Structure 1
Amino acid sequence: QIELITPTEESIHKALARAETLAQRGDASGAQEIYHAAATCLRNDITKNGGDDNYVRVALLARVLGQSGECQTSVGNVEDALTSFHEGIALLSPLVGNDEEDTEDTA
């Protein structure tokens, strides 16, 4: 039983590896349980935290959903995550002073 509280890239990769091992041993339901837990954790984390590093979580969520075969049914969830990510960026932009036009200058 893997318990993911705050999903980090490392913990998600470990969970995916564990799920893959279970799937190879024929324990599809055990693997799905891990995928579901990882995806739920990531979704909650994305919704709760917003912010600049959310793209990492969105990418991890897409990977979890892709590996679990849930991609078709969960496209809406990834879109929701991206929407909340972009809303977060929109809220942060005035504070940081980012202009979408001059992204080249940020060296």
Structure 2
Amino acid sequence: MIIFGTKGYLYQLAILTLVCGRCGNPSAHTLRKRVTKFTLFFVPLFPFSTKYATQCTFCGAEQQVTKEQAEQLQAQDAGGQGGGLGGPGGQAYGQAQQPPYPRP
């Protein structure tokens, strides 16, 4: 008897301040990576699916992003740069926002 299946892993890569494309509020968005791995006898062997998404913490809307967009957002978060994220259809899903108050 051979026991096989899948197991999902969820990694939080960054927390970014973006303008939500659904509710229009500038709020924190989590950038997440979801990896599904093939398991044999409950031992994860290799990944066969990797997906990236951002989720608005205000309204809960989730937007799938490509690997390149996720890497760009991570670099933006690490560098503290401004910029945007192009969503499907050429419409901007969200853009980086600077806080309205000066940083100390």
Please give the range of the TM-score, normalised by the shorter of the 2 chains.
under 0.3
Which of the pair is proportionally richer in helix? 1
Q: With structure 2 as the length reference, what TM-score do the two structures score?
A: 0.26
Which of the pair is proportionally richer in strand? 2
Q: With structure 1 as the length reference, what TM-score do the two structures score?
A: 0.26
